[in-house]
Homo-oligomer: A and B are copies of this chain.
Amino acid sequence: MLVIGIPYDATSSYRPGSRFAPRTVREAAANIEFYSLRAGLDLEAYRVADLGDIVLPVRPQEAVKRIEAVVAEVLGRYPGKLVALIGGEHSITLGSFSAVARVEEEPCLLVADAHFDLRDEYMEEKYSHASVMRRIAEAYGSERLFYIGVRAFAGEEVEYAREKHIEYVTSHSVRLLGVREVVARAARWIRRVGCKTLYVSVDMDGYDPAYAPGVANPEPEGLEPWMLLDILFKVVAESGARLRVVDVVEVSPPYDYSGITSILAAKTLLELFAAYQVQKSGARGG
């Protein structure tokens, strides 16, 4: 796994500070065990390389372009590796998904988030965290998006999602349907769209604020970690679309007093890495 930090939070509208997350998530990763119970694998045995942080300008559109360039370069150079990005705010995903779209075939984006991030613009900005999925939908097709855990909408977003038939499972629905059914829906989406490459983007506010208090926009009634991790692990491990990039975004360390949000972000990357190994080996773990 190749790790890249993207310390960018210039468009954060509520609680800034995700610029510090690349450091705190790495530190958390250094203090937790690398054994995945879901995979039955000790990930200590697998190589993780840290490529450092991307240096970025303040201006949103230029930042996005730089991210795209760097990630595309890395993807091109290491075709067999999983790339893990540590945000920064969600706006970075436009850059990195664009890089995947440039380098790989039929990319799809599985998003865990409390929000749609589908506004046309926000605070006069078209490249902010609140519009990132709108830009992706416009550029690569709205059918390439699948949301898990959404629950806080602006009217404009609900309308757009409806109109474009974007697929999503709210956090309430996850509780009603159960892990298995959500996994099945994601699997059908992958088949229907014909995804060959999978990008998993985890906005940490997809989790409930009790588990991830240190985020830019905490929204009640989110997912419990075991639930979301079970879903993501199974979707990846059992999917035909090859996992290529994962990101964790929107951790805001100045608001993460006990540090548990950074730890959960590190754990999320690890379980995705484990799922990747299982997918690669073609065999399910323990």
Query: Which of A's residues lie within 8 Å of B, judged by CB?
Result: 9-12, 14-17, 19, 23, 27, 31-33, 35, 37, 42, 44, 55-60, 62, 115, 123-125, 128, 151-155, 158, 170-172, 175, 208-211, 213-214, 217-221, 225-226, 229, 254-260, 263-264, 267
Closest to A56 in B: B123
| Given the contacts A58-B60, A128-B58, A255-B259, A31 and B209 also touching, CB distance less than 8 Å | no
Asked whether B35 lies within 8 Å of A152 as measured between CB atoms, the reply is yes
| Given the contacts A17-B254, A58-B124, A33 and B263 also touching, CB distance less than 8 Å | no
Across-interface contacts of A256 in B (CB, < 8 A): 258
Across-interface contacts of A10 in B (CB, < 8 A): 10-11, 58
Asked whether B59 lies within 8 Å of A154 as measured between CB atoms, the reply is no
Asked whether B152 lies within 8 Å of A32 as measured between CB atoms, the reply is yes
Provide the bound-state CA to CA distance between A263 and B114, in Å. Answer: 14
Q: List 19 A-B contacts (CB under 8 A).
A: A10-B10, A11-B58, A33-B115, A35-B158, A37-B151, A57-B124, A59-B59, A59-B60, A59-B125, A213-B257, A213-B260, A218-B259, A218-B263, A219-B263, A220-B225, A220-B263, A221-B229, A221-B267, A254-B255
Across-interface contacts of A170 in B (CB, < 8 A): 37
Q: Tell me what chain A mostly uses at the interface: helix, strand, loop, or mixed.
A: loop
Asked whether A218 lies within 8 Å of B260 as measured between CB atoms, the reply is yes
Asked whether B218 lies within 8 Å of A258 as measured between CB atoms, the reply is yes
Across-interface contacts of A124 in B (CB, < 8 A): 57-58, 62
Across-interface contacts of A154 in B (CB, < 8 A): 33, 35
Report the minimum CB–CB distance from A215 to chain B (whole Å).
Answer: 9
Report the minimum CB–CB distance from A231 to chain B (whole Å).
Answer: 13
Nearest 4 A-B pairs (CB), nearest first? A213-B258, A16-B16, A33-B152, A57-B124
Report the minimum CB–CB distance from A99 to chain B (whole Å).
Answer: 20
Provide the bound-state CA to CA distance between A14 and B30, in Å. Answer: 10
Asked whether A260 lies within 8 Å of B229 as measured between CB atoms, the reply is no
Across-interface contacts of A57 in B (CB, < 8 A): 123-125
Asked whether B210 lies within 8 Å of A260 as measured between CB atoms, the reply is yes
Provide the bound-state CA to CA distance between A226 and B263, in Å. Answer: 23
Across-interface contacts of A9 in B (CB, < 8 A): 16
Closest to A44 in B: B155
